[in-house]
Amino acid sequence: MSSVRLDDLSTPALVIDQDRMARNIDRMRRHLSGLGVGFRPHVKTAKSIEICRRLMPTPRGPITVSTLKEAEQFFAHGVTDVLYAVGIEPGKLPHVADLRARGCDLMVILDSVEAAADVSAFCAARRSEIPVLVEIDSDGHRGGVEPDSDTLLDVAAALTSGARCRGVMTHAGASYDCRSTDAIAAMAEQERAAVVRAAARLRAAGHDATVVSVGSTPTATFARDLAGVTEVRAGVFVFQDLVMAGLGVCAVDDIALSVLVSVIGQQREKGWIVTDGGWMAVSRDRGTAGQAVDQGYGLVRDADGRILKSLVMHGANQEHGLISRRDGGAIDWDAFRIGRRLRIVPNHACATAAQHAEYFVVEGSREVVARWERFGGW
């Protein structure tokens, strides 16, 4: 692209530091390769084919998605090996069948006999085939069936006609509540053991369990043994964020995503720097509030990507961001004149990226080296 600098952009704008992102991807890829396990990256955070291509082992995938729109968008770019990792409901089955009829090997997940019966009835009526992973509850966090329950076998048995059990999956979301890296490693083992046990029970009952899938960025990062697992899913690691830094998953300097904002005012008596990046640009996510260090709505970098250690974005209105010194000390107001560009480091990369339609890519400087489209919606 023609020479553009961050100073030339209209703010707010979403910025990726490509060097940081590349290091994050390489670190995860090497770690999982060392554990001898396949990788099915989750692309719900990125929602960009440019980033997806940097994650996939082949142009066809595999990938994990959280919306059928993601499946459509990436399939349009030739990605055919797709897991839709949100519980399926009947209203979405025609879309699933249509994608499969066009050549997308799309798998769905479910965790109840009712849902299994719905998929089976649909397949029988449409004479179609839909592969299914049974979701396993490995941590009591959200969804899934207990790996040792009778329900697991009942769900598999309810998959008839063209509804085919292909295996099991789980997501240890409770890893986000861990308070040490050892605790995350223990959660990773709990996650692994649950799906491996569930897969063994399915096989013993005569069902297919070719796929044994686990995943979250924290557990993927600290897993020490993935014996019996066929693939790992993770997504936030691509950018990292302050929640991940608070868990010890990454350092603040590893975070590749930020929101470029402009100073639009000073409230000197209050000690506030006012920007044009409110919660519409950064999101309302306060995921670090429950951690040892509350990072407000985000930390502050200068336009070159250096952390301004004393500053935190403490408040957010719809289109206004409020920055102050964490210690309440004096601010050098001359350093934050109207129009100065700053970059807000987010709590939750997924929520922040979702506010934007494009990425501006830099490589450790203010020079924009690429502009990548990002989509949203369902």
Q: In the predicted model, what is the mean pLDDT of residues 201-227?
A: 98
- Position 1 scores a pLDDT of 56
Q: In the predicted model, what is the mean pLDDT of residues 14-43?
A: 98
- Position 343 scores a pLDDT of 98
Statement: residue 2 has pLDDT above 90: no
Bridge partners of residue 42, in order along the sequence:
64
pTM, 2 dp: 0.95
Residue 210: pLDDT band by 50, 70, 90 thresholds?
very high
Q: In the predicted model, what is the mean pLDDT of residues 304-308?
A: 96
Which domains does the chain carry?
42-234 (3.20.20.10), 252-373 (2.40.37.20)
Q: In the predicted model, what is the mean pLDDT of residues 21-37?
A: 98
At position 207, the amino acid (one-letter code) is H
pLDDT averaged over the chain? 97
